Amino acid sequence: MIGSTVGVESGEIESVPKGYNPGGIAPENEVISSDKTGEVVHHATITHAITEPDADHENTGDRKAAMASLLAKYETLVLERTNRLLGYPVNLDLDHGTALAWLQRFSLNNAGDPFIGSNYGVNSRQFEVGVLDWFAKLWEIEKHEYWGYVTNGGTECNLHGILVGREIYPDGIFYASQDSHYSVFKSARMYRMDCVIVDSHNSGVIDCANLKAKLLLNKDKPAIINVNIGTTVKGAVDDLDLVIKTLKEASFSEDRFYIHCDGALFGIMMPFVERAPKISFKKPIGSVSVSGHKFIGCPTPCGVQITRLDHITAMSRNVEYIASRDATITGSRNGHAPIFLWYTLNLKGYGGLRKEVQTCLRNAIYLKDRLRAEGISVMLNELSTTVVFERPQDEEFVRHWQLACQGNIAHVVVMPNITTKILDEFLNELIIKRSIWLQDGKVQPTCVAVDIGKENCACPRHKVINSSNT
């Protein structure tokens, strides 16, 4: 069945469930949501309508003043929300300032291949290639051996990386853990790939024993594997070396598999963590991607996708209209984003990035320890800054701190802009609110053992069990 999915438990091929959204997160600002029937509904009460100006333009001054007032209020709102954005991985500590403000005067478009010129001369290709070279060095692949581009975000990175795998192995089976980002499964649907969902451990790490069992069920077809370098909800890092070992144990030689590494957040952090496993093209991987707006920080969503040059030749097409070759997903591409990335990487360098990574790891441990001391179920994976804990009882509190939730758990992603002061404000409010939720004894802390493991669960039952085991 084309574009099908194999169930986690049964291992049988089935159609992708309607609305299936592993690693899914709540819609933003409640502008668009789904009702209980699953239908999309619009809440139009918070839109800013576009109105026509007067024909004689006599009230242009008043109109501009009204728009300026509205934008000033919006700026205040964004500033307030920026200080309370804890659930989503984005670095809001932006330091581009006036240095790059002049870029807004130009429409920079990097359409086509970054390494080939174009008739559209208002572009930033020289900055884009500088960024790509930096990541190629980080992931240990020579300049003449790689190809890549700056994308419009992590989803486009995954769309491209998985497409490369599909182009190399048109009849390949796609494998991804149940904790993979929803864009991974979107890619499988878009490309009509047979997709096998692999079990995950409670930590969110791919279960390689289950992967091996499912590989053996399809050993006559090549394997296209998604490896998570930090899962969406739990921040789990799949063991790349173990995945490669598992493929070989299942008798898949290197010419019969393709690995895409989705490193949206932790792909840029891992190289600066001591004793962390390496992401390297010296290993038999096909592509690696990161989001540029997450840890690095950028005012526009963007990503970096790197693959092997010999993989891309078959995908490239000459485009006369732009006088370039193209193997990207989108046509027009944001030319501002590469400059923002180039500026930040030059400004911070390896030393600055390493310092920020270490600070985030320390602050994540601080948050985890504080939550645990308050008797709150909590888990923090090794190499991660994603702190997972029991979902707060109050949805207003969830929205106030913009927490990402899935089922009975929520998380905070500790980024460079999240200081211990902000964490303390969040913790103090959570502790007060929680005491109110639980004060009459009618509501008990939710059991999240199935989500994060019984050793991390502080519900009444597991609290007693864990206490007796210590």
- Residues with catalytic function: 384
Tokens of 292: 């540029």
- In whole angstroms, what is the distance from residue 138 CA to residue 379 CA? 29
How many Cβ atoms from other residues are within 10 Å of residue 111's Cβ? 19
Nearest CA among 374, 341, 315, 392 for reference residue 130: 341
- In whole angstroms, what is the distance from residue 258 CA to residue 464 CA? 46
Environment class of 100 (CB within 10 Å of its CB; exposed 0-12, middle 13-18, buried 19+): middle
Cα dihedral 356/359/364/365 (nearest 10): 150
- In whole angstroms, what is the distance from residue 172 CA to residue 40 CA? 34
Would you say 174 and 3 are in contact if contact means Cβ atoms under 8 Å apart?
Answer: no
Edge-first strand order for the sheet with 409-413 is 378-380, 386-390, 409-413, 404-406
- In whole angstroms, what is the distance from residue 245 CA to residue 148 CA? 27
Q: Which residues pair with 223 in a beta bridge?
A: 173, 257
Nearest CA among 152, 134, 109 for reference residue 292: 152
